[in-house]
Amino acid sequence: MEYSMNQLPQAINSDAKTQSSENQNSEVVSDNSGGQTLDSENVDSNTLAAVLQFLQKHNLKGTADALKKEARLKEDQLRDAQALQVDSEATNLLSSYKSEGDPNAYEKAYLSYRRFVESSLDVYKHELSLVLYPLFVHMYLEMIYNNHENEASKFMERFSIDQEDYYQEDLKKVSFITKKEHMKGSDLMENFKSSQFTVRMSRDTYSVLKRFLQDKNQSIVMNVIQEHLYVDMYEGVPRNKAQTKIYYGLLKEPDIQLSVVEEEEDGEPGEGGEKPKKKKPKKDPLLNKKAKSDPNAPPASRLPLPDLRDIDKLEKVRALREASKRVALGPDSLPSICFYTMLNCAETVTCVEFCEDSSLLAAGFSDSILKVWSLVPQKLRAMKPAEQLADIDKEAEDVLVRMMDDKTGETMKVLYGHCGPVYSASFSHDRTLLLSSSEDATIRLWSLQTWTCLVVYKGHIYPVWDVRFSPHGYYFSSVGHDRTARLWATDHHQPLRIFAGHYSDVDVVQFHPNSNYVATGSSDRSVRLWDCVSGNCVRLMTGHKGTVSALCFSTDGRFLASGGADQKVLLWDLAHGHLLADLPGHTMTISSLAFSRDGTVFATSSLDGSIQLWDFFRMTDESSLEDVNISGHNPDLLKRSNVIESLRLARYPTKATPVMSLHFTRRNLLLAAGMFEG
């Protein structure tokens, strides 16, 4: 809250104004020294007392003595005038307090306003809560003025603890005023007289407040606001409370010490009968680079994560090798696009999902089945029966390969279990598990080794619209029609966290790359960022004018892109919660968003059957990330349509296939999928 303190008391200002016209014709009397003095008979003694009081307050003793001498005021006259001045100031202040017959009306009015603040949208809540403290203080003083001492004492005792900590010292002083007589001559009352609460709020917040005050039962609240508050309105997005720090950096990659052995084929002995020598194991140069620690990354112990297994380490090495062959993208080097079109589908395709290494594709259908395809030459195999597994050498290096039955190899597997349309699917990072959510209000965990359902998670009571695995595995999150998001662990039947706060369906969920946060998009047109550790909402981002249908984090974790039914794609800076860009161009609901692996190109797709590519590197480079105005928008980027147009690198339309999913491979090939509707 901001305060404006006027140095001159209002009583002095008002007295000076009323006396200015009277003093214009006052006589000027010459003294013996040839100077000029004031005629005390023609000057109001109350005015002189007010001026003297002001001079003494500011330690202007010499000026005050000179004024006394010139006005020729006697000490007893001055004391009487000053006493009258104090009484008049207190009377002016107290006259603003209305007389209420029922002392319980104040408590009801305060509770009513507090409930109104608590039930308001989060975007307005902070600014509306700024009125609570001045409302509480002036209600208490008004009760004291109206001789309701007992009720005022109970009011102070009950609601003083609700005020912010930095007000508690002032409230102690206010609580000492327990009778009407204490108000007169009180330094605290003089402070209330000479200052006024200035509450700064946006025009939208003020409109919400006005609608509340129009209620005929809010006369007490309206009187306090009109008499004792000054509302300073501004244009722009309402301000939130001091924001919680977000650890948007990426976790430090663990050191992987694996040696690379170059094998040689057995050959004939060379000249001199010597056998070819085997090369010594050497360290992979890709693994010699030490991982840099990100200053914005969360502590490693903040969220318990599963330890890396040997197979996970091998997968990371494989990913690093593929990344070394990655194509650098930019305006002069656009990605190739591989589009998977589903033809002749008997039932409607409701969702499509690619796995992280781009080797698998899953699709859910409206007839409750889930299909998984292999996108590589290797077929999908099932595990051998238990009798055959008993004969396998568990110590063999290729034990995982021996466990799989080649006879069961297929290019597609079908999973049955849901009893309603399958709305989403998500692969685990090691491609051994698959999650799916359905209209039947359940989440199913499938094994991609036995191709059976392992667990059915029941917690939502309405359809589950989306489910997403954590990038580090073990944790997953789900959202649904019950207006909640939930954080789960694969080995727990019940959710670990329930994120409640949205006012309508939560339609889409996405994990942050460091797994410490979850982003949700809702039909209430807002995007929220939740802390998986505390369970609190740490960012609320509003700007969409329709349901939020797609979310995606940038590769470095700092930015979040959201798309909605309003055909807009908005880009957010998570460090401050500010909107950086509004990307137009699509004509139907945004269906999917994806960032390239090197973070330079941003792809968007829509049900209008088009894919658009954007220059994300230039978009963030031209944005002033550290210097944003109070409304949270970057004017240099948002208000110039020619700049937005120049950021669009390309647009690729399909003939009659709405794009349902986008995914960049490790080498920056863009994959897309959809169902043909021609």
**Measured between alpha carbons, how far is 471 from 473 in angstroms, rounded to an integer?**
6
- Give the pLDDT score at 69: 75
Higher pLDDT, 607 or 256: 607
- The rounded percent of the chain whose pLDDT value lies above 90 is 41
**Measured between alpha carbons, how far is 517 from 345 in angstroms, rounded to an integer?**
37
**Measured between alpha carbons, how far is 543 from 563 in angstroms, rounded to an integer?**
11
- Residue from 171, 147, 142 nearest 159 by CA: 171
**Measured between alpha carbons, how far is 648 from 611 in angstroms, rounded to an integer?**
11
- Give the pLDDT score at 14: 36
- Give the pLDDT score at 397: 72
pLDDT tens, 192-204?
655 567 888 888 8
- Give the pLDDT score at 577: 82
- Give the pLDDT score at 272: 46
- Give the pLDDT score at 108: 87
pLDDT band at 386 (very low <50, low <70, confident <90, very high): confident
**Measured between alpha carbons, how far is 634 from 572 in angstroms, rounded to an integer?**
11
- Give the pLDDT score at 72: 63
* Token code pair at residue 589: 């609901």
- Give the pLDDT score at 27: 37
Asked if residue 511 has pLDDT above 80, the reply is yes
* Token code pair at residue 78: 């001055």
Higher pLDDT, 389 or 331: 331
pLDDT tens, 415-451?
999 999 999 999 999 999 999 999 999 999 999 999 9
- Give the pLDDT score at 257: 59
Higher pLDDT, 347 or 636: 347
- Give the pLDDT score at 147: 81
Read off the amino acid at residue 289.
Answer: K
pLDDT tens, 199-222?
888 888 888 898 888 875 678 888
Tell me the whole-structure pTM to 2 decimals.
0.67
69, 61 Cβ separation under 8 angstroms: no
**Measured between alpha carbons, how far is 136 from 132 in angstroms, rounded to an integer?**
6
pLDDT band at 295 (very low <50, low <70, confident <90, very high): confident
Lowest mean pLDDT among 49-63, 317-331, 350-364: 49-63
* Token code pair at residue 251: 């976790």
Asked if residue 76 has pLDDT above 80, the reply is no
Using CA atoms, how far residue 212 sits from 192, 215, 218, 241, in Å, is 26, 6, 8, 22
Higher pLDDT, 87 or 185: 185
Domains and CATH numbers, the chain: 97-234 (1.25.40.500), 337-390+399-626+636-675 (2.130.10.10)
Residues 510-542 as b/e (b if ≥16 CB within 10 A, e otherwise) read bbbbbbbbbbbbbbbbbbbbbbbeeeebbbbbb
Q: Identify which of 244-248, 477-481, 575-579 has the greatest average pLDDT.
A: 477-481
Lowest mean pLDDT among 169-173, 334-338, 571-575: 169-173
Alpha-carbon dihedral angle through residues 159, 163, 169, 173, given to the nearest 10 degrees? -40
Higher pLDDT, 116 or 12: 116
- Residue from 664, 542, 655, 652 nearest 605 by CA: 652
- Give the pLDDT score at 100: 53
pLDDT tens, 524-541?
999 999 999 999 999 988
pLDDT tens, 552-569?
999 999 999 999 999 999
pLDDT band at 593 (very low <50, low <70, confident <90, very high): very high
pLDDT band at 546 (very low <50, low <70, confident <90, very high): very high
342, 675 Cβ separation under 8 angstroms: yes
613, 596 Cβ separation under 8 angstroms: no
Q: Residue range 114-135: average pLDDT?
A: 87
